[in-house]
């Protein structure tokens, strides 16, 4: 089966600009996660969707970050305006709903804010 797809793979922007990342989860995976991985750290959850509803967005900086998952499939994560400290790899993962299912990760989008 096809894995989790993400685009773009790399993005360089200036501070105060906006940027959007796209994720297409594995077919049939109702649960979708966005993680932020700052260099030298482990990934940290930003937001979790179950179908198109938000399960956990407690770590999402809502003044500048937003995410949506229309129709319960693809998802978009947006940053507006970007800050230098947003430089990181943004990882999307998906899993089957319920129980203790493995999370499958996409290749990530590396964002550099200058």
Residues that bind other proteins (CB under 8 A): 3-4, 31, 33, 35, 40-45, 48, 55-56, 91, 93, 95, 97-108
- CB-nearer residue toward other proteins: 22 or 81: 22
State in angstroms the smallest separation of the CB of 91 from other proteins: 7
6 in helix, strand or coil?
strand
State in angstroms the smallest separation of the CB of 79 from other proteins: 20
- CB-nearer residue toward other proteins: 59 or 87: 59
- CB-nearer residue toward other proteins: 37 or 87: 37
State in angstroms the smallest separation of the CB of 45 from other proteins: 4
Rg of the chain on CA atoms, in Å: 13
- CB-nearer residue toward other proteins: 19 or 92: 92
CA dist list (Å): 59 to 8, 47, 92: 23, 7, 15
d(Cα 71, Cα 93) in Å, to the nearest integer? Answer: 17
Return phi, psi of residue 28, to 5°. 90, -10
Q: Which of 41, 50, 30 lies closest to 91 in space, CA to CA?
A: 41
């Amino acid at each position: 089966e096809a894995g989790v797809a993400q685009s773009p793979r790399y993005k360089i922007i200036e501070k105060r600009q906006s940027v959007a990342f796209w994720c297409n989860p594995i077919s049939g995976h109702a649960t979708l996660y966005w993680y932020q991985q700052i260099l030298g750290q482990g990934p940290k959850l930003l937001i979790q969707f179950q179908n198109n509803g938000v399960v956990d967005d407690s770590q999402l900086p809502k003044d500048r970050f937003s995410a949506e998952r229309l129709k319960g499939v693809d998802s978009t994560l947006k940053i507006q305006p970007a800050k230098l400290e947003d430089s990181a790899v943004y990882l999307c993962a998906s899993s089957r709903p319920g129980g203790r299912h493995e999370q499958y990760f996409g290749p990530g989008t590396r964002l550099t804010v200058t």
